[in-house]
Amino acid sequence: MNTVTFVLAAASAGDVVNLILAFLGGIFVAGALIWAVQLGMRVRDHELPHPSPEDQPHPPPGGAVREAREVREPDEVPHWDHGERLMPYELHASSTRTGKDQNRRRWLPGSSGSFGSGGIGHV
């Protein structure tokens, strides 16, 4: 045998080892996936059953709740002139309140336009 034969034998032996390692790695990954699916099935079998249709929520007896529309206006923070600070219970829970005028403001043609809309804007 000459040197070329030994070089080829050594190179092919390394390829065989790499092929065997890749095959064993693939078998390991496939086994891990099978184990994970079986574990998930066991966990799901121990969970509580899904609620029956009778246990699902039902609409109220008066029918479905409808949307309420109202015009809101800002609720300003109360001002104080004396030296004491405002306490949390003196503030309102919401930053808006029901407006005095409940008529919705309507868009008037030619009175406004959004930025970049290509319109002439406010005239």
Residues 6+ apart with CB under 8 A from 78: 86, 90, 91
Chain-centroid distance of CA 77 in Å reads: 34
Residue 60 confidence class, pLDDT cut points 50, 70, 90: confident
Residues 6+ apart with CB under 8 A from 70: 98, 99, 102
pTM attached to this predicted model: 0.37
Q: In this predicted model, what pLDDT tens digit does every residue of 70-110 receive, in sequence order?
A: 888 887 776 767 777 777 787 777 778 888 888 877 766 66
**Structure tokens, 2:** 């000459």
- Distances from the Cα of 103 to the Cα of 70, 76, 87, 99, angstroms: 9, 21, 35, 9
